[in-house]
A and B are shown apart, each in its own frame.
Chain A
Amino acid sequence: MSFSIELMREIEATVASWGLPPRLIHEVLEHLYEELAERPRYHLKRISKPDIRLLYMFTVRAEGDPPRDYLFEFSVRYHADEETLIIWECDYLSLEAGPG
C-alpha cells in the first residue's frame, strides 16, 4: 500500500524559497513517492532527542562545474488514519561533490 503525502503550506513556501532548478524538484518528488510513500518504515529514521521525531533524508547529485551533492531532510509524522504521511519541517544543504 502506498501512503499519501501531505505538505504543510509553510513547507511549500520554504521549498519555493530555495529556488531549486527543475531537475532537483523532480528528484525530490521521485524520492518522496518512490521511496518514502512506498516504504516509510524502511526509510524513516527515528530520533529521540530533543524530541521524538521521524526524519526522511536523501542525497541528490547535481551536475555542474563543480558538481554538488544536495542533502535533503524532511520531518515526517504519521496521520492518525495510518495511510497518510505529513511533512511538517524541511531543510537542505549542498556540498561540493567529489570526483567519483
Chain B
Amino acid sequence: VTVPILKQGDFLVVAVEDELEDAAWQTLRTELLARAGRHRSVGVLIDVSAMEIMDSFSTRMLDGIARMLRFRGAKTVIAGIQPTVAFAMSQLGLRLSSAGTALDLDDGLAELRRRTRRP
C-alpha cells in the first residue's frame, strides 16, 4: 500500500487511510523526506482521521517522521485523531511530542500556517 502525498503550496498533505504495515510506514517516511526536500516544503500535514487504532509503533513512526522533517526545516501537524483513539493513547502514555495536533484537515492547515508564519 502506498500513501499518496499531495503538494499544496508550501505544504505537503498526506491522508493515512488505513492501518499501515511496518514497511509502508517506512516507505511513507522516505517519500515524505524526499518530497519535502524536492519541493522545499515548510510544513507537512498528516491526516489520521480514518485510523481507528493508534498503537505504540505507529505513534513512534509519526513522532519520528515529525522529528526528521524538523531536521529538514519543516514542521508537522497531525490532524484528526479521533476521541476514542486520543483516549486510548493518553491511557497508554503514547505522546506525539514532536508534532503539532489539530482537529481536522482545515484546522490542520491553519495550524501549519500559524506555525510557519515568518515574523
| A-B interaction | no
- Residues of A at the B interface (CB closer than 8 Å) are none
- Residues of B at the A interface (CB closer than 8 Å) are none
